[in-house]
Structure 1
Amino acid sequence: MTDRARLREDVDEAYSLQIRAATIGALRSGGFGLGVVTFAHYAWPLFRRQTLPFKAFLVSGFTMFGLVIGADNALLSHEADRRRSEHAIRREARLDLARRGLVGTETEIARWRAEKARRDEAANAGS
């Protein structure tokens, strides 16, 4: 798999994670906002006199907050996981290259990755 294809796959995965987390966050916060507005409507006479569009605005504000925060948290978690896995791969490459007596430059790490991918494909084909 080429670097470009791997990057495209990672972007698609991050996007689907964001959509899923944003939907869940919007539903949770929207439900909470609806509960708060309903409680305030029945418990506070001043709030009861407010218009329906204002109450809907409050609920949609809660919903948007949950949507944005949910998507952002999911993306930040995904990026942190990707950084950890990338760091582990690069560390493994640098160690293996050092054993061979090579310096772990970007070019050498890219060659090491390609070589490792070929070995993994050969091992999977042999299984």
Structure 2
Amino acid sequence: MSSSLSTRTRRDRDVQTAYEIQSRAAASGALRGFGVGAGVAIIAHHTWPLFRRQTLAFKGFLVSGFTCFGLIFAAEAALQEHEGTRRKEENVIRRAARLDLARQGLIGTESEIAKWRSERENKEQ
């Protein structure tokens, strides 16, 4: 397998993993946001006469705002955490590749690192 094909395959796999992580986090964040929004609306309805006089559509709008807020921020936080973890893993691999290539007397360019990585993946299989 060529290094560009393995790189593309690895990136596609990484994109799919990130999408799954973000989707799960978005669903759980939306549920949490909905729970908080519905709870706040119920409490406000029973304790605040001004809120009680508001229409059902307005109350639904507030709850959906909480839901969207939870969905967006949970998905973004999960994606950023995943990207940070992947960046750290990638830096460790690249550092190991540069050290190994330096021991062989080669300069750790992008193409050399890609070749080193594909050779390492072939040995592991």
TM-score (norm 1): 0.92
Structure of higher RCO (CA pairs closer than 8 Å, 6+ residues apart): 2
**CA–CA separation in structure 1 for the residues paired with 2:41 and 2:118:** 57
Indicate the residue corresponding to 2:88 in structure 1. 84
2:100 alignment partner AA: D
1:42-98 superposed Cα distances (whole Å, 9 cap, x missing partner): 000111000000000000000000000011001101110110010000000000011
**Correspondence for 2:97:** 93
Cα separation, 2, equivalents of 1:115 and 1:96: 12
- Could you list the structure 1 runs, at least 4 aligned residues long, displaced by more than 4 angstroms after superposition: none
Question: Alignment length, in residue pairs?
Answer: 121
Q: Which runs of 5+ in 2 are unaligned?
A: none
TM-score (norm 2): 0.94
User: In angstroms, what is the RMSD of aligned CA positions?
Assistant: 0.9
CA distance in 1, matches of 2:71, 2:85: 21
Residue number in structure 2 paired with 1:15: 19
Identity of aligned residues (%): 59
Cα offset for 1:119? Answer: 1.2
